[in-house]
Amino acid sequence: MTDISRLDHRVPAACRTLAQWLLYVGLVLTAVMLMILGRANGQIMERMRIQVVDVLAPIIDMMSLPVDAVVVAAQTIRAWTALSEDNAALKHDRERLLAWKDVALRLEAENAQLRELVHLVFEPQTRAVSARVVADSGGAFARSLIVSAGRRHGVGKGHAVLTGTGLVGRVAAAAPRSSQVLLVSDLNFRAPVAIGPMRIRGIVAGDNSDQPKITHVDPDAMIEIGDRVVTSGDGEAFPSDLPVGTVATIDDGVIRVRLFTDESPVEYVQIVDFGLQGIIDEARIAGSPAPESAPAAAAGPAAP
């Protein structure tokens, strides 16, 4: 029984081997016959080749469609990847350019203000110090600034503070390295002014609004909107003809001024000592020697 079963397994294997050899021999014979036919009659082989190609062309075309789709998809993916990289690079360049734009705009504004300060011309006996605004201050004054110049730079209380467009205010207090500037719009600010071509006298008085009032004006004075307001020089608080602003509104006898310095943010100022005595500087008084006593007071009461 064992020999019979082994024989049963060997027979199919032998058949398969024989079939393979027959197929191989058949293919070789076919190739040889095709070579002989090609040498004997080339036209027959050419027609057969054309027919075979004609039959296989649609099949090859159908088989190439998925391959083309894969190639197109791969190219699309590469293109999207390149676009994404280019987009990221453009965003980075845009952010960098915007940062430089902000720097350029800030420098342009500072340059414009510095050019305006350069155009200020003062009398020879005056002393001027340029300073940068470092902070807005509150405290006793609702509207004031802190500037980067103090007593070490020759700044004292009462000195006028200007920009290229007009009067900003006056120095309210001076420390060694910084000073507090009282703005024209502050409630505590007062300054004599002249209005219009007739130079009508008045007092500009801040009230913590953007447009301070003008008080103590002759009720019969002819004042019009748009009239120029400058310092009058009265009281020796400020010299004459410092630009302040223009008349903005006249409502029920209340005259308000649009300040020249409100047209742009104040970043740089000129602190000017005109040598006037209208504003008392406590530091100067404290540093000056005490006046001598009267001789009669020193000698005591006179003898009868």
Assign residue 155 the CATH number of its domain.
2.40.10.340
- In this structure, is residue 163 part of a structural domain? yes
Residue 165 confidence (pLDDT) above 80: yes
* Closest alpha carbon to 181 in 162, 165, 207: 162
Structure tokens at 132: 């940068």
- In this structure, is residue 103 part of a structural domain? no
Domain that holds residue 254: 127-272
- In this structure, is residue 89 part of a structural domain? no
Question: Region 203-217: what's the mean pLDDT?
Answer: 93
Q: Quote the DSSP letter at residue 163.
A: -
Cα 73 to its chain centre, rounded Å, is 44
Higher local confidence (pLDDT), 236 or 40 = 236
- In this structure, is residue 244 part of a structural domain? yes
Q: How far apart are CA 283 and CA 52, in angstroms?
A: 114
Question: Region 190-197: what's the mean pLDDT?
Answer: 92
Q: How confident is the model at residue 219 (pLDDT cuts 50, 70, 90)?
A: confident
- In this structure, is residue 77 part of a structural domain? no
* Closest alpha carbon to 248 in 209, 215, 216, 213: 213
- Total domain count for the chain? 1
Position 225, amino acid? I
Higher local confidence (pLDDT), 261 or 277 = 261
* Closest alpha carbon to 164 in 115, 207, 129, 128: 115
- In this structure, is residue 175 part of a structural domain? yes
- In this structure, is residue 145 part of a structural domain? yes
Strand partners, 137: 144
* Closest alpha carbon to 267 in 151, 105, 159, 138: 105
> For residues 155 and 163, is the Cβ–Cβ distance under 8 A?
no
